[in-house]
């Protein structure tokens, strides 16, 4: 049984900053008549609803592994053609879809980085698309940032290495050049792959810990007992903050990769 460590309130503390990449990715999508959409890693479903309405889709299915994130999506009222279901991206990618069940758009905003082997994953998702189907996804590219390297180094030290039982947080995100090559290789003739640095201005460097607690650190929380994770979080704070600029407000540059392609 997978422990659900996602907290919608914690995640939404930086809602405005997290939303901009979604809108940038959505602008790359070409509207189509009677569009069927699958949104992988839809979270609270708020932005899934925006996409469904803006693209005037015939059907949109939002999929997320977190029941706590989906709870708000299911209580925001019904929208014709829009529904949500619990499930993993891996399980969806292994489905066999035929005929009019194949989506015209597979969309994923800040979720594919939780799944390994992107070469194979993108190939599977491409094979699920309808003719002239589109694939659009955004992944954070912060794995070389102190926020991530500090967590990895701490996890490799005791007592956390023993508590994690040899588990290490995977890092599946590829280079922007690699994504462009894969999309072309899989049949997207004019793929777009962009590395964008989003300039976030936070109240102070302390806010960075809150930011990461709502995303990257959820993986560590899932693999550690609650009391051990609380200690991990405090040790993480003590290690990370001295590496960051003490200026207020704090400038937090965040790298993301946005990709889009349409099958020829």
Tens-level pLDDT at each residue, the chain (264 residues): 455 554 445 444 456 677 999 999 999 999 999 999 999 999 999 999 999 999 999 999 999 998 888 987 777 668 999 999 999 999 999 999 988 899 999 999 999 999 999 999 999 999 999 999 999 999 999 999 999 999 999 999 999 999 999 999 999 999 999 999 999 999 999 999 999 999 999 999 999 999 999 899 999 999 999 999 999 999 999 999 999 999 999 999 999 999 999 999
* Structure tokens, 177: 């050049």
The answer to whether 63 touches 85, Cβ cutoff 8 Å, is yes
* Structure tokens, 258: 């946005």
- The pTM score is 0.91
Length of the chain: 264
List the beta bridge partners of residue 63: 40, 85
The answer to whether 233 touches 217, Cβ cutoff 8 Å, is yes
Q: Where are the alpha helices (DSSP H) in the chain?
A: 8-11, 15-26, 46-54, 67-73, 89-93, 118-128, 146-155, 160-164, 176-185, 206-213, 217-223, 226-240
């Amino acid at each position: 049984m997978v422990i659900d460590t996602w907290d919608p309130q914690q995640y939404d503390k930086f809602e405005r900053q997290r939303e901009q990449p979604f809108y940038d990715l959505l602008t790359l999508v070409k509207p189509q008549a009677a569009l069927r959409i699958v949104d992988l890693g839809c979270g609270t479903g708020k932005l899934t609803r925006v996409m469904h309405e803006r693209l005037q889709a015939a059907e949109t299915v939002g999929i997320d592994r977190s029941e706590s994130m989906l709870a708000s999506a299911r209580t925001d009222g019904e929208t014709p053609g829009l529904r949500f279901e619990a499930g993993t991206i891996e399980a969806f990618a292994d489905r066999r879809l035929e005929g009019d069940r194949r989506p015209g758009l597979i969309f994923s905003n800040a979720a594919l980085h939780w799944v390994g082997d992107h070469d194979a994953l993108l190939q599977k998702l491409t094979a699920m698309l309808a003719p002239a189907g589109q694939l659009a996804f955004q992944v954070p590219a912060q794995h070389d940032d102190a926020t991530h390297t500090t967590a990895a180094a701490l996890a490799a030290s005791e007592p956390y290495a023993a508590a994690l039982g040899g588990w290490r947080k995977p890092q599946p995100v590829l280079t922007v050049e690699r994504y462009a090559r894969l999309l072309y290789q899989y049949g997207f003739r004019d793929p777009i792959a962009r590395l964008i640095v989003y300039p976030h201005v936070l109240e102070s460097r302390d806010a960075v810990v809150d930011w990461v607690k709502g995303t990257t650190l959820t993986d560590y929380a899932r693999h550690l007992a609650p009391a051990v994770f609380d200690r991990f979080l405090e040790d993480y704070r003590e290690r990370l903050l001295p590496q960051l600029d003490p200026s207020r407000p704090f400038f937090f540059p965040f790298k993301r990769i946005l990709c889009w392609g349409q099958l020829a």
